């Protein structure tokens, strides 16, 4: 059975999975033993891939090598943090039985708040040469901890701070809202946040205080995302219609290069070409600036 603690933990899994898509193998809810323990997310980077894109910031640094993630929107107790260490030990044993065994992944526990008892009793210490809020346990436990509420407020930590709670999440949402529509962090996060909104009960009386705050804080960016999605769907239809007209006018001369040019064009260019296609004698005349 999967151990999804809150819908916000599901948000974290979806966010990290989307961020890592194309960089390597990503699995969620990975079973580690017969007692139904599961890893939230397991990532194995492709050795031939380019380094993580810059916009991933600290998340890219966390996933520079094989890694697993355990996500806690509600700050874990000492026992819950200890359980992560036990589960990761079982997972390492499970991986050792594979032929050949894959590299040992580093476990990253992402906690919205500071798990005081777990940090103190499990001997976690701040990591040198890392931002504040990043801790490491004893080396042989292969586990590190990110306390989201302690991360510096910068663009490099934005994706991870979207996994926070309370004021931290509110601040991160405000920063996301301020980004231009084409910024990669915004394009990555908005669809996932929109899906999470759809999981919040429609009936306000059935919402938690946190649900209600999340709905209020994401209203503007949700509406913005809806408008952008509708506009994008409209433009895709306009591009398809233009290509049909081009093929009707110019036949086989509409090759892959022309298709790629139409796909990359701005909305203004598409509108101009849609008018020109009615009178242009050639593709060169159509595309003339």
pLDDT of amino acid 2: 41
What gap in Å lies between CA 19 and CA 148, rounded to an integer? 17
Examine the pLDDT at 109 and tell me if it is beyond 90.
yes
Q: Which of 73, 131, 75, 83 is nearest to 107 (CA)?
A: 83
Q: What's the pLDDT at 34?
A: 45
User: Is the previous residue joined to 279 through a cis bond, with omega within 30 degrees of 0?
Assistant: no
Confidence (pLDDT) at 70: 96
Provide the pLDDT for residue 36. 54
Helix, strand, or coil here: 155?
helix
> Where do the H-state alpha helices sit in the chain?
7-20, 58-62, 78-96, 116-121, 158-161, 166-178, 184-199, 209-250, 256-264, 267-276, 283-287
In this prediction, residues 253-268 reach a mean pLDDT of 87
Overall pTM > 0.85: no
Going from N- to C-terminal start, the domains of the chain cover: 7-166, 238-287
What is the rounded distance in angstroms from the CA atom of residue 283 to the CA atom of residue 106? Answer: 55
User: Structure tokens of 10?
Assistant: 């599901």
**Contact, 159 vs 189, CB < 8 A?**
yes
More confident position, 235 or 250: 250
- The pLDDT of 223-243, averaged and rounded, is 78
- Percentage with pLDDT > 70 across the chain: 95
Mean pLDDT, the chain, rounded, equals: 88
pLDDT tens for 113-136 read 999 999 999 999 999 999 999 999
Confidence of residue 1 (pLDDT cuts 50, 70, 90): very low
The sheet carrying 67-72 orders its strands as 24-31, 38-45, 67-72, 106-111, 143-147, 134-136, 125-126
Place of tokens 């994706």: 159
Residues β-bridged to residue 147: 111
Q: Would you state the pLDDT for residue 33? A: 55
Question: Could you tell me if 144 and 134 are in contact, meaning their C-beta atoms sit under 8 angstroms apart?
Answer: yes
**pLDDT reading at 240 higher than 80:** yes
- What would the two tokens of residue 2 be? 């999967």
27-82 tens-digit pLDDT: 887 766 545 578 899 999 988 778 889 999 999 999 999 999 999 999 999 999 99
Least confident of 44-58, 121-135, 164-178, 192-206: 192-206
- Whether 78 contacts 118, CB under 8 Å: yes
């Amino acid at each position: 059975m999967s151990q999804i603690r809150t819908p916000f933990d599901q948000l974290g899994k979806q966010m990290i999975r989307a961020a890592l898509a194309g960089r390597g193998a990503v699995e969620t809810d990975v079973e580690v033993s017969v007692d139904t323990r599961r890893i939230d997310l397991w990532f194995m980077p492709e050795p031939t891939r380019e380094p993580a894109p810059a916009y991933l910031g600290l998340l890219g640094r966390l996933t520079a090598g094989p890694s697993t993630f355990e996500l806690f929107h509600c700050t874990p107790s000492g026992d819950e943090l200890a359980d992560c260490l036990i589960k990761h030990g079982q997972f390492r044993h499970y991986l050792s039985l594979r032929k050949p065994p894959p590299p040992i992944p580093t476990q990253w526990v992402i906690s919205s708040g500071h798990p005081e008892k777990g940090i103190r009793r499990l001997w976690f210490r701040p990591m040198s040469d890392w931002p504040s809020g990043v801790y490491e346990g004893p080396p042989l436990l292969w586990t590190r901890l990110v306390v989201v509420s302690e991360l510096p407020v910068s663009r490099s930590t934005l994706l991870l701070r979207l996994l926070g709670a309370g004021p931290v999440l509110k601040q991160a949402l405000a920063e996301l809202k301020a980004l231009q529509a084409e910024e990669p962090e915004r394009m990555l996060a908005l669809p996932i946040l929109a899906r999470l909104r759809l999981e919040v009960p429609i009936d306000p009386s059935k919402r938690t205080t946190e649900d209600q705050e999340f709905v209020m804080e994401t209203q503007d960016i949700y509406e913005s995302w809806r408008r952008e999605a509708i506009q994008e769907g409209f433009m895709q239809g306009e591009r398809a219609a233009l290509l049909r007209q081009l093929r009707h006018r110019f036949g086989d001369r509409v090759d892959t290069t022309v298709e790629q040019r139409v796909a990359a064009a701005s909305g203004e260019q598409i509108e101009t070409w849609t008018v020109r296609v009615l009178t242009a004698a050639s593709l060169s005349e159509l595309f003339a600036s």
